[in-house]
Structure 1
Amino acid sequence: MKNTRIFKMPFASVYPHYVSKAEKKGRTKDEVDTVICWLTGYDRKGLQKQIDKKVDFETFFAEAPAINPNVSKITGVICGYRVEEIEDPLMRKIRYMDKLVDELAKGKSMEKILRE
Structure 2
Amino acid sequence: MTKWIVPACYLALAVAPAAAADVRLDSYRNPQNENFRIFNHMYLDGVRGGMMAYNAWLTHHGGQPSFCMPGNLALTTEQTEEIMLKSADKRGAKGDMLVASLLLWGMQDTFPCEKPASQ
Task: Give the TM-score normalised by structure 1.
Answer: 0.33
Task: Give the TM-score normalised by structure 2.
Answer: 0.33
Which structure has the larger Rg? 2
Higher share in helix: 1
